[in-house]
Amino acid sequence: MQHRKKHCISQRTRLFLVYGNFMLLVLVFLFLYIYCFNRQNVQKEVAVKQTNICASIRDSVKTKLDNMSTISLNLVYSSAIRKNFSSFAAYTGKKNVSKRETLQSWDNIKAIYDTITAIIGPYQSASQVNLYTMDGTRVGSGYQQGVVKTDLDKIPWYHAVLSLHGSKYISVPIVNQDIPASGPNRNAHKFLSMARLSFNGGDKSEGICEVIQDCNTVFSLATKMEKANEGLHLYVYNERGELVYPYTAFSAQDNYLTLTQQKHFQDETTHMVQKTGNTSQIITKDTVPQYEWTVIAVESKESVYTSLSVFRRAFFCWPLSLFWGQC
């Protein structure tokens, strides 16, 4: 009798193990299929998202830089600016200026103010416009209007502008506490300057035109994208490889531009990069045409695959909860 009972239990145990193992294999196969399918979808979604974000920021930054360049060219080639600035510059170089010449100089300055206002418009499409004579006198209009004497050698972009012989030079973000800033830039007061030489109709340089723009205006979309996408970090490098965004204070970061160049990343392509400490990042790059600026989107693998981690834990905790009532 006992022998039959043991035999019966043994049969039940065998059947339980066979069917149990079969169900376990089915569950494991089902898990792997769903997990791999979702993983591929997540990878595709992240690639599309980062590519679209980089493209949007590329177009937005290009539009802002184009606007600065248009203002700069309009100033350089404006006949009214040329005529009045030439006359004003001639007086600034003289040691003894007559009363008539002084009055004429002020008439020139007023005409310059009016022309600048007409070019940047009533809503000020640029934060500030400055015109410099080659002896260092600055005529400014925008948020600040006035004439001041300036040491050109102390301006960060001065020598670079001279070397370009009329081509535009765009500075890195520079602190300017004299001009009000907006949005996240309200405390940092960082501004981009686009400067170029102006000529008197020949080959002789007559002055320098500088168009200043609030960094929050240039990079407003990048700031919004980072806020709307948790875990996303955006970086913008200029053609000289200098980081221009983020422009506010931030902790030391890897040079993602060098990384993408070393690995020969193509525009609008997404890559998984293995880093030290068993961490990985998903990176997409794009280039701002005509300016050769680079936009880079970075997200950690952990933040991207958070939903898969939740699914994995839930999948394995569910069977265990049937036996123990908790994971």
Question: In sequence order, which residues have a C-beta less than 8 Å from that of residue 314 and are 6 or more positions away?
Answer: none
Q: How many helices (H) and strands (E) does the chain have?
A: 9, 12
Instruction: Specify the domain boundaries for CATH 3.30.450.20 within the chain.
Output: 24-74+219-327, 77-218
- CA gap 127, 145 in Å, rounded: 12
Contact at 8 Å (CB) between 200 and 206?
Answer: yes
Per-residue DSSP letter, 165: T
- Higher model confidence: residue 234 or residue 280? 234
pLDDT-based confidence at residue 127 (cuts at 50, 70, 90): very high
Strand segments, DSSP code E, in the chain are 128-133, 137-142, 146-149, 169-170, 174-175, 190-199, 205-214, 232-237, 243-245, 270-275, 279-288, 293-300
Do 48 and 71 contact (CB within 8 A), yes or no? no
- pLDDT computed for residue 323 by the predictor: 46
pTM (2 d.p.): 0.81
**HSE-up of residue 268 (Cα within 13 Å, Cβ side):** 7
CATH of domain 24-74+219-327: 3.30.450.20
- How much of the chain is in helix, strand and coil states, percent to nearest 5? 50, 20, 25
Note the pLDDT of residue 206: 87
Confidence of residue 38 (pLDDT cuts 50, 70, 90): low
Write out pLDDT tens, residues 164-205: 988 999 999 999 999 999 999 999 999 999 999 998 766 778
Q: Which amino acid belongs to residue 174?
A: I
CATH of 77-218, one of 3.30.450.20, 3.30.470.20, 3.30.1390.20, 3.40.366.10: 3.30.450.20
pLDDT in the model for residue 322: 46
pLDDT for position 213: 97
Q: Give every CB contact of residue 276 below 8 A, 6+ residues apart in sequence.
A: none
